[in-house]
Amino acid sequence: MTDKELHALVSLLDDSDQEVKSHVKNKIISLGHSVIPFLEKKWEDSFNPELQKEIEELVHHLQFFLLKDRLRDWKNSPDQDLLTGLWIINTYQYPDLEFEKLNADMHQIYFEVWTAFKNDLLPFEQVRIINGVLFGTLRFSANTKNFHSPGNSMISNVIESRKGNPISLCAIYLLVAKKLGLPIYGVNLPNLFVLTYKSKETTFYINAFNKGLIFGKNDISNYLEHLQIEPKDVFFEPCTNLDIIARMLRNLIGAFEKLGEVEKMDEVRELLSILEN
Each residue of 94-136: pLDDT tens digit?
Answer: 999 999 999 999 999 999 999 999 989 999 999 999 999 999 9
pLDDT tens, residue by residue, 164-177: 999 999 999 999 99
Q: What is the mean pLDDT of residues 249-269?
A: 97
Q: Is 140 found in the same domain as 37? A: no
Q: Give residue 114's pLDDT.
A: 97
Q: Which whole-number Å values give the CA distances from 205 to 81, 140, 163, 169, 262, in the listed order?
A: 22, 19, 21, 14, 36
- d(CA 50, CA 14) in angstroms, rounded, equals 7
Q: Is 167 found in the same domain as 53? A: no
Q: Give residue 29's pLDDT.
A: 84
Residue 104: burial class (beta carbons within 10 Å; 0-12, 13-18, 19+): exposed
| Residue at which a domain ends, from 25, 46, 76 | 76
Q: Give residue 3's pLDDT.
A: 77
Q: Is 65 found in the same domain as 142? A: no
pLDDT tens, residue by residue, 70-102: 999 999 999 999 999 999 999 999 999 999 999
- Whether the pLDDT of residue 277 is over 90: the answer is no
Q: Is 216 found in the same domain as 94? A: yes
Q: Are strands 163-164 and 141-142 parallel, antiparallel or unpaired?
A: parallel
189: left (phi over 0), alpha (psi -120 to 50) or beta: beta
**Total domain count for the chain?**
2
Q: Give residue 31's pLDDT.
A: 83
Q: Is 144 found in the same domain as 124? A: yes
Q: Is 113 found in the same domain as 68? A: no
Q: Give residue 4's pLDDT.
A: 78
pLDDT tens, residue by residue, 13-61: 776 777 877 887 888 888 888 888 888 888 888 888 888 888 888 999 9
pLDDT tens, residue by residue, 198-221: 999 999 999 999 999 999 999 999
| Residue at which a domain ends, from 44, 76, 108 | 76
Do 42 and 28 contact (CB within 8 A), yes or no? no
| Residue at which a domain ends, from 15, 49, 76 | 76
Domain that holds residue 22: 3-76
Give the global pTM. 0.89
Q: Give residue 41's pLDDT.
A: 87
* DSSP code per residue over 20-62: HHHHHHHHHHHT-GGGHHHHHHHHHH---HHHHHHHHHHHHHH
Q: Is 97 found in the same domain as 218? A: yes
Q: Are strands 141-142 and 192-198 parallel, antiparallel or unpaired?
A: unpaired
Q: Is 135 found in the same domain as 20? A: no
Q: Is 52 found in the same domain as 174? A: no
- d(CA 172, CA 196) in angstroms, rounded, equals 14
Q: Give residue 13's pLDDT.
A: 78
Burial 236-262 (b: 16+ CB within 10 A, else e): beebebebbbbbbbebbbebbeeeeee
Q: Is 261 found in the same domain as 205? A: yes
Q: Is the torsion defined by CA of 126, 131, 134, 138 positive or negative?
A: negative
